Amino acid sequence: MDESIKKRLRLANILGLLAILLFVGTYTLKTVFIYHDPIAMEDEEDEVEENESFQPFSIFIPAGTESYEPPLDYLKELMGDIIWDYRPTGLYAYLIGYQTIPVWRVSLEAPQYPKAAFPDGVPVFFHLTDFSGKVSEMNTINHYIGMDPMEVGAIFVRQIVPFVYLIFFLMLVGYLFYQGKGWWILGLVPALMPWYYLFFYSKWLYWFGHNLHEFGQFTIKPFMPTVLGDGKVAQFTTHSYPTVGFFFLLAIFVLLILSILIKRKAFRDAKSDA
């Protein structure tokens, strides 16, 4: 194998290693990118809203953790029989997926939410395992149109994220060293993370918009909430855009695709020179 091929393989692995670092960052950097309410920060109270959208598998919950049943029977079918009041700390919080960074940002604006009190509108950030921002306020707004609370969305998908990340991490490590048949699969499958996310995000937006209840104070027809861009629901203006986590995932996608292409060409050249 000549030196030019070795250099290309080293470059491919460097790109792969950078992708791994960003991949780990999407799982661990929540505290760096968490939303701080600009108004609450002035009083240093409630600058980060606590909510119960993080609901891991019960095997991860320590004995004695407080819990309660969903308030309505139909919510049990969506959320399970128990809602945990659990916010892990320390290393364990990272291991079970509590520290994933925000991937998508949705915000609402309306006359009843003046800029002086809500400079960012009513923002909610979608993480890989939970939500942050003004989750309670958003749930109140959604209730007015007969929509379920955000916490019911994609619970199982959010619960399996730690397992998916472990599998993808092992695949990426294997990608750096394995050169046998199908080596590229080890890089391609994790590379598609942003598109997996968009699929589930769009799917659940559709589900929320097409499963409205009669308890809403506003009667609106089933609708597809805006996935990307600005929209209008009743008197609310909506904004839905990717945020830092999605750009991390896009960077991972680009780095791994480039790495795969470079490595593929290097292997072909090495084979032809043999």
Count of CB atoms situated within 10 Å of the CB of 55: 22
Asked if the structure places residue 259 within a domain, the reply is yes
Do residues 220 and 155 touch, judged by C-beta distance below 8 A?
no
Q: What is the DSSP letter of 152?
A: G
> Closest Cα to residue 16, out of 173, 250, 164, 170?
173
Tokens of 236: 């609310």
Whole-angstrom distance, CA of residue 120 vs CA of residue 122: 6
Do residues 216 and 56 touch, judged by C-beta distance below 8 A?
no
Asked if the structure places residue 74 within a domain, the reply is no
Q: What is the DSSP letter of 48?
A: S
Whole-angstrom distance, CA of residue 151 vs CA of residue 19: 30
Count of CB atoms situated within 10 Å of the CB of 20: 20
Residue 123, domain extent: 3-49+88-273
Asked if the structure places residue 141 within a domain, the reply is yes
The label of the residue with tokens 């292409």 reads 261
- The predicted structure's pLDDT at residue 219: 78
Asked if the structure places residue 232 within a domain, the reply is yes
Tokens of 52: 């119960």
Asked if the structure places residue 61 within a domain, the reply is no
Asked if the structure places residue 220 within a domain, the reply is yes
Q: How many domains does the chain have?
A: 1
Non-local (6+) Cβ contacts of 119 within 8 A are 38, 39
Whole-angstrom distance, CA of residue 253 vs CA of residue 247: 10
- The predicted structure's pLDDT at residue 43: 62
- The predicted structure's pLDDT at residue 8: 94
Asked if the structure places residue 73 within a domain, the reply is no
Asked if the structure places residue 102 within a domain, the reply is yes
Do residues 121 and 133 touch, judged by C-beta distance below 8 A?
no
pLDDT, tens digit only, all 274 positions of the chain: 688 899 999 999 999 999 999 999 999 999 999 999 888 766 665 688 889 999 999 999 999 999 999 988 888 888 989 999 999 999 999 999 999 999 999 999 988 898 888 899 999 999 999 999 999 999 988 888 889 999 999 999 999 999 999 999 999 999 999 999 999 999 999 999 999 999 999 999 999 999 998 887 777 888 999 999 999 887 889 999 999 999 999 999 999 999 999 999 999 988 887 6
